[in-house]
Amino acid sequence: MLFQNKLGIVSMDIEKNYQLFKGIRMRKNNKKKLLLALTLLLIVSLACGVSSNEGNLETAAAETVEVELTTRAQVAQAETQATADSPLMTATFTSIPTGTPIPAATATPTSEIDCDVAAFVSDVTVPDGSDFIPGENFTKTWRLKNVGSCPWTAAYDLVFFDGEQMGGPVSQPLINSGEVEPNDTVDVSVDLTAPGAGGNYTGYWKIRNNSNVVFELSNGDPFYVEIDVIEPTATSEFPLLLLTPFVIIGPDFNANYGGNYNCFPNNRAMFQIENTGFLTIESIEIFVEGPLGILQHHSIQNAPFKSSSKLFPECWAPGFSSLVADDIRFIHVGLGSLPLPGIPGEATIKVCGLDDLGGFCKEKTINFIW
């Protein structure tokens, strides 16, 4: 009975202390834990029979509950204070006014094509590094394309810019006539001469428009010609003579009109021939024209060379078949009619090194007065 009374007193004290801390804000889980702890403590105290003294038992139980409740209250208060001191993060929203259009993205405009721009296509003649002997003439041709927006006219010029000019002009017309429309190509040529000394040479060129504005290729560079000048050199195995160009030495001569006469029953004209070459002349061909270009005579002869005699019968005597170097002979040709004195005439004479106009030949035309 005494045990039951003690149990009732302790339970009343527990309930009383619980009501004192009922106002404390605790989470639901903490409240359950507290009740469970108090119940376990009570059971342990009763089972052990801690003391026969009611006052001591009651006092110990009350103190234990008070300490536990005080600790829990302090923890709850600290949690509450921490929650109050930590402000919640808030999101800020900025409203967009209705009816305000959002500007659309605009494309950046591309730059316009320049008026005068050239592009290199190919070297038509004289590729880079071509070999020439000193003083040799050549023609450089570039193929260019008009990649600008303006046509090239005959008022545009090819102009020397820098480097080795190679005997070329300071400027010359780019084209002689017409126009080079955008996206069209044109071959541009200039006559040049290889420098007199051996070495590598480069000449740079540009184009000048009709407003005297000079422009270059689309990559910003001028177009150019590059050559190598090779000087002939003598070696112990090949003398210098073999390195010079081979020249074919043919016959050569001088011709003069020697007058006209009558070798019965024909009229004849006589021409003096001097062999000034190294080869013997073996045959000739001659055309003789009178007034208004009328043909008076044409013949091919293998033995035409005679003396200067106009007398009969020597004028009918056969001629010599050859005319050696440095010798002078005469050829006599028949005429259909004798032109009037003072009338201009013309003779075209070809001499050759073999019979029947064979071998090397040389031809000359002389003008004279009948």
Q: Which tokens sit at 5?
A: 């009374």
Output the CA angle 122-182-118, nearest 5 degrees: 45
Render the burial of 42-72: b for 16+ CB within 10 Å, e for the rest: beebeeeeeeeeeeebeebbbeebeeebeeb
Give just the sign of the alpha carbon dihedral 22, 26, 30, 32.
Answer: positive
Q: What is the pLDDT of residue 342?
A: 86
The domain spans of the chain are 2-77, 118-229, 253-369
Handedness of CA 25, 29, 34, 39 (dihedral sign): positive
121: left (phi over 0), alpha (psi -120 to 50) or beta: alpha
Strands 223-229 vs 130-132: parallel, antiparallel or unpaired: parallel
Regions in the chain scoring below 50 on pLDDT: 2-3, 6-7, 10, 21, 24-25, 28, 49-54, 57-58, 60-62, 65, 82-84, 86-111, 234-244, 246-247
Element housing 47 (H / E):
helix 28-48
Do 118-229 and 253-369 come out as alike in CATH topology?
yes
Task: Give one word for 48, left, alpha or beta, with left for phi > 0 and alpha for psi -120 to 50.
Answer: alpha
Question: In CATH, what number does 253-369 get?
Answer: 2.60.40.2550
pLDDT in tens, 176-204: 999 999 999 999 999 999 999 999 999 99
Q: CB-hemisphere CA count at 13 Å for 168? A: 28
**Res 109: pLDDT:** 42
Q: What is the pLDDT of residue 333?
A: 87
Please state at what angle helix 54-85 crosses helix 28-48, rounded to 10 degrees: 160
Protein fold of 118-229? Immunoglobulin-like (2.60.40)
Q: What pLDDT is stored for residue 44 in this prediction? A: 54
Q: What is the Cα–Cα distance from 30 to 292, expressed in whole angstroms?
A: 144
Residue 139, token pair as written in the block: 């023609």
